[in-house]
Chain A
Amino acid sequence: MDKKAYQFLKKNWPYIFAAIILILLPNLLSDFRLNLFGKFLTFAIVAIAIDLLWGYTGILSLGHGVFFSLGAYSMAMYLKLKSEELPDFMMWSGLTDLPWFWRPFKHFWVALPMAIIIPALLAIIIGFPTFRARIKGVYFSILTQALALVFSIFFIGQQPYTGGTNGMTNFQEIFGYSLSEASTMRGLYIITVIVLVAVFILSRWLISRKTGRVLVAIRDGENRLRFLGYDPSIFKIGIFALSAGLSGLAGALYVPQVGIISPSMMGILPSVEMAIWVAVGGRGTLNGAVIGAITVNGAKSYLSETFPDIWLYFLGALFIGVVLFFPAGVYGIFERFKGKKAEEKGVLSNRGETDYAAEK
Chain B
Amino acid sequence: MPVEIIISQIFNGLSLSSILLMIALGLSITFGIMGVINFAHGEFLMIGAYTAFILQRFFHGQDSGYYFLLSLPLAFFVSAFIGLIVERSIIRFLYGRPFEGMLATWGLSLVLQQAARNIFGANNVEVSSPAWLNGGIEFIKGVQLPYNRLFIIAIAVICIIGMYIYIYTSSSGRRMRAVMQNRDMAACMGIKTRRVDSVTFAIGCGLAGIAGSVVSLLGSIGPSTGQNYIIDAFMVVVLGGVGNLSGTIAGAIMIGAVSPFFEFVTTSSMGKVIVFALVIAFLQWRPSGLFALKTRALD
* Residues on A facing B (Cβ under 8 Å): 54, 60, 62, 126, 129-130, 132-135, 137-139, 141-143, 145-147, 149-150, 153-154, 156-158, 223, 268, 272, 275-276, 279, 309, 312-313, 315-320, 322-324, 327, 356-357, 359-360
B77 at the binding interface (Cβ < 8 Å): no
Q: Is B298 an interface residue (CB 8 A)?
A: yes
A130 and B280 in contact, given A62-B102, A323-B100, A323-B103 (Cβ under 8 angstroms): yes
The binding surface of chain A is classed by DSSP as: helix
Q: How far is the CA of A132 from the CA of B40 in the complex (A)?
A: 30
A-B pairs, 4 with minimum CB distance: A319-B107, A157-B269, A316-B111, A316-B110
Q: Is the CB of B99 within 8 A of A60?
A: yes
Min Cβ gap A77→B in Å is 19
Report the number of A-B residue pairs with Cβ-Cβ less than 8 Å.
131
Distance from A280 Cβ to chain B, minimum over Cβ atoms (Å): 10
With A153-B269, A154-B272, A360-B96 known as contacts, the answer to whether A133 contacts B90 (CB < 8 A) is no
CB-CB < 8 A to B96: which residues of A? 356-357, 359-360
Give the residue among B100, B237, B283 with the most A Cβ atoms within 10 A: B100
Chain B residues lying within 8 Å of A313, measured Cβ to Cβ, are 110-111, 114
Least CB distance, A124 to chain B, in whole angstroms: 13
Residues of B within 8 Å of A272, CB to CB, are 103, 106
Is there a chain A Cβ closer than 8 Å to B151's Cβ?
no
| Distance in Å: Cβ of B298 to nearest Cβ of chain A | 5
**Interface residues of chain B: helix, strand, loop or mixed (majority):** helix
* B253-277 at interface with A (beta carbon < 8 Å): 267-270, 272-273, 276
B268/A145 in contact, CB under 8 A? no
Given contacts A142-B234, A324-B90, contact A275 B103 (CB under 8 A): yes
Contact between A356 and B97, CB atoms less than 8 A apart: yes
Partner of A137, one of B93, B98, B280: B98
The answer to whether A359 and B234 touch (CB under 8 A), given A129-B280, A138-B37, A316-B114, is no
Chain B neighbourhood of A149, CB < 8 A: 231, 272
Per-residue CB contact flags for chain B residues 72-84 toward chain A (1 = under 8 Å, else 0) read: 0000000000000
Q: A309: nearest residue on chain B (CB-CB)?
A: B118
Note all chain B residues with C-beta closer than 8 A to A323. 94, 97, 100-101, 103-104, 107
